Amino acid sequence: MTAIDSAIRAAASEIKLAAVTKAYDAKTVVIPPMDVTLRPGEFTVILGPSGCGKSTLLQMIAGLERVSSGKIIIGGREVQDLEPKHRGCAMVFQNYALYPHMTVAENMAYSLKVSGVSKIKRMVRVEAVAKMLGLADYLARKPGQLSGGQRQRVAIGRAIIREPGVLLFDEPLSNLDAQLRHDMRVELADLHRRIGATSVFVTHDQVEAMTLADRILILNKGTIEQFDTPKAIYHSPASVFVAKFIGAPPMNILGVTGDGSVLRTGDGQIVAHCEKKGRFQLGIRPEDVIVKAGGPITATIRYREDLGSHEILEADLGGQQLRIATPFGAEIDAVSTLSLSFPKNRLHLFDGDTGRAIPQSFEGQDAIRQPVKEYQ
Ligand SMILES: Nc1ncnc2c1ncn2[C@@H]1O[C@H](COP(=O)(O)OP(=O)(O)OP(=O)(O)O)[C@@H](O)[C@H]1O
Ligand SMILES: [Mg+2]
């Protein structure tokens, strides 16, 4: 661990939002009162659709946007009225915003220069950070002479050089191509393991969220839908909104009616046994649907997509769309009608109106899901 690694690790701060709101006017409430605590050293990914308030939240933490009310407490200090530079946060944006006329070294050292750090100390820190990020050979280049991934690393270097206790990222990888995104994701995960700054990372990309986060915060119109580990978000989504947001393709959601013993789809098919009565939304992930001769549920194939490693079948179940992901090697005949079964420990039940999850609705359902072994 370098001196910079340990300095940042030591500075990792808790971030606490207490009844924080943001409204542009009475009609434009972007964040209704929000209470949340991010632990020191934790990597939080904020995930949500466009316009749900992700950047607003990040910028309020950084101090680039004022809170309308409430408190932001970083490392035990109330910071909502402090200038950004006094909050101990560093931010990395989507458009790297590097100074084009400065070299890599000058870009990285700029904030230290402005805060009066001596030239010798600046050089030592730039060298340490450049080494950490694999930029040691590029220090004399200008940003225009670098690849996208290298530029993004300079932007990260510029953020961490001040040894912040909090690192904020707003879609930092979205300008990169798929391969570079993957490489940078691995690098970011590694960087976080080493320096352990409390990190908040905004993205649209659920793969980034699943792979980088200690906990994912799912935001819907400025409100927290769920804040939990990637596993919990995937296996026990708290609402239909969360269920549809994670997984590719996302979880199937079927409208069903319960008569006190079974759940039926609109065409009268029994899809599960359950003692609840009323209208519900039943969730099952495409990879959890079992295609099996003699299965009790019948659906018609509308479309097949062969992705090489597996196939996605798009089917019609009583007028509702059902996607099925077949495992590698499964041969599905060129039939148009499928027999299916829904394993009960892979089902999710949601309220028909609010979409909130109703846990453990199925008799004998395991609290922790077991892998499905059977496939024929
Ligand atoms: N100055 C402003 N006046 C009024 N509304 C604003 C202003 N700035 C942002 N908003 C609104 O606040 C909401 C949240 O914006 P924000 O930029 O935080 O969304 P986001 O989740 O980051 O979206 P994206 O994924 O598209 O970046 C949006 O509906 C936006 O229109
Ligand atoms: Mg944004």
CA of 170 to the centre of ligand 2 (A): 7
Domain covering 3-235, topology: Rossmann fold (3.40.50)
- Ligand 1, atom 26, residue with closest C-alpha: 50
**H-only helix segments in 165-290:** 178-195, 206-212, 230-235, 240-245
Domains 3-235 and 250-351 share a fold: no
Cα gap 8→156, rounded to integer Å: 13
State whether the beta carbon of 56 lies less than 6 angstroms from ligand 1. Answer: yes
Closest CA to 140 of 179, 172, 105, 186: 105
Rounded to 5°, the CA angle 80-86-89 comes to: 85
- Give, as one character, the DSSP assignment of residue 40: T
State whether the beta carbon of 51 lies less than 6 angstroms from ligand 1. Answer: yes
pLDDT at position 36 is 97
CA of 51 to the centre of ligand 1 (A): 5
**The CATH number of domain 250-351 is 2.40.50.140:** yes
Helix (H, G, I), strand (E, B) or coil at 1: coil
Amino acid letter, 25: D
Question: Alpha-carbon dihedral of residues 136, 141, 143, 149, nearest 10 degrees?
Answer: -40
Mutational test site, ligand 1, from 55, 168, 225, 245, max ligand atoms within 8 Å of CB: 55
State whether the beta carbon of 27 lies less than 6 angstroms from ligand 1. Answer: no
Domain ranges of the chain: 3-235, 250-351
pLDDT at position 372 is 44
pLDDT at position 47 is 95
Indicate which atom in ligand 1 lies nearest the CA of residue 222.
14
Instruction: Give Cβ neighbours of residue 333 (< 8 Å, ≥ 6 apart).
Output: none
Structure tokens at 326: 């077949």
- Ligand 1, atom 12, residue with closest C-alpha: 30
State whether the beta carbon of 30 lies less than 6 angstroms from ligand 1. Answer: yes
pLDDT at position 374 is 44
Indicate which atom in ligand 1 lies nearest the CA of residue 202.
22
Beta strand extents in 122-251 (DSSP E only): 166-170, 198-203, 215-220, 223-228
Mutational test site, ligand 1, from 25, 28, 64, max ligand atoms within 8 Å of CB: 28
Cα gap 99→81, rounded to integer Å: 28
- Ligand 1, atom 29, residue with closest C-alpha: 51
Indicate which atom in ligand 1 lies nearest the CA of residue 48.
21
Whether cis (ω within 30° of 0) applies to the bond prior to 249 is yes
Handedness of CA 99, 104, 108, 114 (dihedral sign): negative
CA of 68 to the centre of ligand 1 (A): 15
Residue 324 CB neighbours (<10 A):
27
Mean pLDDT by 10 residues, the chain (376 residues): 70 93 93 97 95 96 96 95 90 84 95 90 92 90 90 90 90 82 85 89 91 95 96 94 91 96 95 94 95 90 85 93 82 78 93 92 59 42
- Ligand 1, atom 7, residue with closest C-alpha: 24
Element holding 155 (H helix, E strand): helix 148-160
pLDDT at position 375 is 40
- Ligand 1, atom 2, residue with closest C-alpha: 24
**H-only helix segments in 31-116:** 54-62, 104-114
Question: Alpha-carbon dihedral of residues 157, 162, 164, 169, nearest 10 degrees?
Answer: -30
Closest CA to 44 of 186, 169, 222: 169
Cα gap 57→67, rounded to integer Å: 9
- Ligand 1, atom 6, residue with closest C-alpha: 24
Helices 104-114, 119-132: axis angle to 10 degrees equals: 130
Element holding 7 (H helix, E strand): helix 3-11
